[in-house]
Structures are given as structure tokens and as C-alpha cells.
Amino acid sequence: MPFRFQKFLYIAVGFCFVVFVVWPFLTGGRSPVIQTEFNSVNAQIEAHLAQSTPSDTTSHVAASTPDVLGSSTSPVTSSGQLDLNTATLKQLNDLPGIGESKAKAILDYRMKKGRFSRIEELTEVKGIGDKILEKLKPLLYVTSS
């Protein structure tokens, strides 16, 4: 390789290093080429993530998201009942007769159709019949709005 070409190559690499690494570091800025922030696709997923992780690490996320799940109260009442419209995957999975696949099906139904207006709507979810519904009725409730 000719010496002149090597010299040009070293200068070009050095220039790129300074422009893309050293300069942003010295100025405290970020490179516009690298995206460092996460932009959620769905506000409900972001709200779900804010609920399922420790609050000290997600307080900025919880403060910036709209209240898409309805009420700000806990989905579990003092009597042990679970709100069907705000229940998480883990909470649904802990119900008797509901495994992970049925819990996911309930959440998918809720995402597609919207909030439940009656507990009986659970029978429209694939895999949940009248027998499972009778087991779940004392454990669930539905908020009106």
C-alpha cells in the first residue's frame, strides 16, 4: 500500500473518531446518529411496565404516561377480588383455572375489544367456559369506567 494512501486513511479515521466520539463527549451532547431513548409504541404497555417494575426506577415513565387503565386505585380490593379491567398478566395467571396462555388471551381480548363491562364477557375469551367462569366470579369484579 502506498505511503500516501496510508497517511490519508489514518487522517480520515482520526477525523471520524474526533467528530463522532471525542467531540460529543467533550460537549456533553449525544451523537444524533445514535438513538438513546426508548419511545413506546403503546401507552398501555408502558403503563403496564411502570406497574410491574420498582417505582424508584420508573417514576419518570409513570409520570409521563396518561392514565390509560382507568382508575389509579389498586386492582385488588381488600376482600381479595381482582379488577378484570386493570389486572396484569401475573395477577391473572395466579387465578385458579387460568394459566399463562389463558391470561394472555384475556389481555389480548381486552386490548382488542376494550374494557370488560360484565364478568360474563370472559366466556368470549378462547378457552374460558361456563365452569371456569363460575370459579372466577367470586374472585373478580369489573369497574364501570
53 vs 21: which has the higher pLDDT? 21
**pLDDT for 15 beyond 60:** yes
Q: Are residues 84 and 116 in the same domain?
A: yes
Q: Are residues 18 and 32 in the same domain?
A: yes
Is residue 45 within 8 A of residue 112, CB to CB? The reply is: no
Q: Are residues 31 and 46 in the same domain?
A: no
| pLDDT digits 0-9 by tens, 78-133 | 567 888 888 888 888 888 888 888 889 998 988 888 888 888 988 888 888 888 88
Structural domain for 21, as ranges: 1-37
Q: Are residues 27 and 89 in the same domain?
A: no
Closest Cα to residue 125, out of 145, 144, 103, 142?
A: 103
What is the DSSP code (8-state) at residue 97?
T
pTM of model > 0.85: no
pLDDT at residue 61 in the model: 42
| Predicted confidence band of residue 39 (pLDDT cuts 50, 70, 90) | low
Q: What is the mean pLDDT of the chain?
A: 74
